[in-house]
Amino acid sequence: MPLSHNRFDDPHIDRATSEHIRFSMTDGQRIVAGRVPIAALRARLGGDAADPLVLYGRCREVVEAAASRRFDRDGAPDAMVDLDSDDLADARA
């Protein structure tokens, strides 16, 4: 089942790593956590924004589409859709 945008949660920098943006989506019944490396956003989606949250905001739909594809393929091991650079390889912001 595809994931969709969770409009009730704001993305934020992962406090544990400081290297990821954390976000959440929904499968229609439950909230699904996600994270994407800031370096992957910059490398794959044209990271000219100094603020990683600004870059995420510009690329949110692309990141969420990649998260939905990954969720459909792999589910959410450890209750997390953990994106990597390869998930964003075909994405264009």
pLDDT of residue 47: 63
pLDDT of residue 45: 81
Find residue 53's DSSP bridge partners: none
For the stretch 21-63, pLDDT in tens is: 999 999 989 999 999 999 999 988 876 668 999 999 999 999 9
pTM for the full predicted model? 0.89
DSSP string, 18-81: SSEEEEEEE-SSSEEEEEEEHHHHHHHHT---SSHHHHHHHHHHHHHHHHHHHHHHH--GGGEE
> In terms of CATH, what superfamily is 4-88?
Shew3726-like (3.30.160.140)
Task: Summarize the confidence of residues 62-86 as an average pLDDT.
Answer: 93
